Chains A and B, each alone.
Chain A
Amino acid sequence: MSTQQILLEAHAVAKHFGGVKALHDVSLTIRRGEIYGLIGPNGAGKTTFFNCLTGLYRNESGHFVFDGTRLAADAPHKAAEVGIARTFQNIRLFGNMTALENVMVGRHLRTRAGVLGAITRNSTTRAEEAAITRRAEELLHYVGIYERAHDYAKNLSYGDQRRLEIARALATEPKLLALDEPAAGMNGTETDALRVLVEGICRDGVTVLLIEHDVKLVMGLCGRVAVLDYGEKICEDVPAVVQRDPRVIEAYLGGSLA
């Protein structure tokens, strides 16, 4: 595989909490343009992996190479800056801001206006502000909640909140969109709609890393899947192979099958 095809490489990433090995030398490779699934039982270390990747946690050893450069993952905003956007398992929106404002916050990174611009409201600032609004509206449209633009984020339905979080993440112009259990708590219809959305995002050129519990969704959506168990990667392959892997079955069903 040429380096140009690879977007993210994790090299032996390890993270401990006291004596608990949350991540134990996890290595994986995500290719440009694919939807990559990360699954595993509860507490397997999926979200910890996300947090290390996005700079919320500092990993004890190992490192990430993103888009050809090594990540200095010491601050979350830097991860966002190089093009890694994420959503959260327990939705973290700015509840008392409107849907539109939430997405506008996502544009912060790619815009420049400072205090002086804000105070003088010069033409550059006004133009930028208009562009921010326009882009945020487009993104709301894109994820399908444009008509809720002026509702407060906390008043949106659960499914719409998930969509809003994705729109906010997309506003940072990511190369890699990391979704942490986006289908959690969704019903069948909502999950299907989410699948269509994620496929669309991928088609539009954003690589997707998906943590999910809904095995059916992952199997249908992802090109490749890695399975974590007790902080270790036990398997990485196309869904069809992963599904039949005895170690995966054991991890999910527990106990020994022998």
Chain B
Amino acid sequence: MSNAVKPLGRHQHWLALLLIGVVLLLVPFVAALGGQAWVRIANFAILYVFLALGLNIVVGYAGLLDLGYVAFYAVGAYTYALLASPHFAIHLPFWVILPFGAGLACIFGVLLGAPTLKLRGDYLAIVTLGFGEIIRIFMNNLNAPINITNGAQGITLIDPIRIGDFSLSQTSTVLGVTLSGPQKYYFLLVALAILVIVINIRLQDSRIGRAWQAIREDEVAAKACGINTRNIKLLAFAMGASFGGIAGGVFSAMQGFVSPESFSLMESITILAMVVLGGMGHIPGVILGAVLLTGLPEALRYGIEPLQKMVFGRMLIDPESLRMLVFGLALVLVMRFRPAGLWPSPQRRRELSESTD
């Protein structure tokens, strides 16, 4: 990984960071020019960056193919929803629920991880997929005999993230700048994303990161080197799950509404596709993947509708179905021509070139 460092001078390095910072600062204001809907889209892009980087620890670093990642997102979301809504008339503050949700998701991560430790590749994918579905179906049906999740109707009127009287979902003026609700969530999400990026970077070049990589490369040899592969794999599951839990909590607060529909298998696949499409194990790649896959459907929604009306005078194809078509086609093309992802780590590119040669 030492070779992955870009040949940038220290000076240029800081300049690039400064540039990224300025762009990040401007995004919510530029997006707001097109309406608050665009700010929400930016928010979701960053939420997915967060989720994808959480999954990257499991899939990219430890090499464990997890198709049920959305389960942890759901656990976090429902934890927040149940503890901060009129549903049970409990209104705990977010700084209690978010860590609690992360912890709970972490426990679920270990629960899923423990029975799957001996599985690899396809087998692991199937079991995790099943796990993701179990959680969703539970959320869907836990409204009887005791109504816990309110079933398919979901939970509404979830509290926003609020510190004292300062609520993230209302417009307010901070230091002379008027910020809308979505714009405030944007800054919270950026802060969280930076946190997860730093954690990803630091883990990568650590004793734990090397152990994950060793397991990915050759599990038997890793064991012979004295790595307790069981614990190290569980650690990857637990960490990935915790990030999923935090993301779920923020999602809940931001939307004010959760229902099992948001946690379908498709969601897991989309998050995994972000990681794979962008470049597994490579942080900039994963970020790119998340932003592209969130932005693309929205661009289609806003671009295709007017385009069709303009060309044909009416809607021929539903943008939703077109979305899946383009999404699938993009995946096929990327996997065919850039199997290591759009922006792969030098490492992963080597691994894949080796197997296709």
Task: State the A residues within 8 Å of B (CB).
Answer: 54, 56, 75-77, 80-81, 85-86, 88, 92-98, 101, 104-109, 111, 113-115, 117-119, 121, 125, 128-129, 132, 150, 152, 154, 168-169, 171-172
Contact = CB atoms under 8 A, between A and B. Distances in A.
Interface stretch (B37-45, B125-133, B219-227, B296-304): B219-227
Interface stretch (B78-86, B166-174, B205-213, B314-322): B205-213
B191 interface: no
Nearest to B228: A77
A94 B1 CA distance: 13
B333 to A, nearest CB: 26
Given A80-B224, A94-B218, A98-B2, A113 B206 contact: yes
Given A168-B225, A172-B225, A97 B217 contact: yes
Interface string B234-258: 0100010000000000000000000
Given A80-B224, A109-B225, A109-B226, A101 B210 contact: yes
A97 B214 contact: yes
A150 B213 contact: no
A77 B207 contact: no
B201 to A, nearest CB: 10
Contacts of A114: 208
Interface residues of B, number: 33
Interface stretch (B8-16, B92-100, B261-269, B347-355): B347-355
Given A113-B207, A118-B202, A152 B214 contact: no
Contacts of A92: 218, 220-221, 224
Contacts of B222: 94, 105
Contacts of B213: 94, 97, 101, 105
A169 B224 CA distance: 8
Interface in B1-50: 1-3
B203 interface: yes
Interface in B297-332: none
A149 B351 CA distance: 19
B224 A94 contact: no
Contacts of A97: 210, 213-214, 217
Question: Which 8 pairs show the lowest CB-CB distances between chains A and B?
Answer: A109-B226, A80-B226, A118-B206, A76-B223, A94-B217, A92-B221, A105-B214, A113-B207
A113 B207 CA distance: 7
A95 B217 contact: yes
14 contacts: A76-B224, A94-B213, A94-B218, A96-B217, A107-B207, A108-B210, A115-B203, A118-B202, A121-B202, A125-B206, A150-B2, A169-B225, A171-B225, A172-B226
Given A76-B223, A121-B202, A150-B3, A115 B208 contact: yes
B214 to A, nearest CB: 5
A115 B220 contact: no
B116 interface: no
A77 B221 contact: no
**Chain A CB within 10 Å — which of B210, B222, B351, B354 has the most?**
B210
B354 A105 contact: no
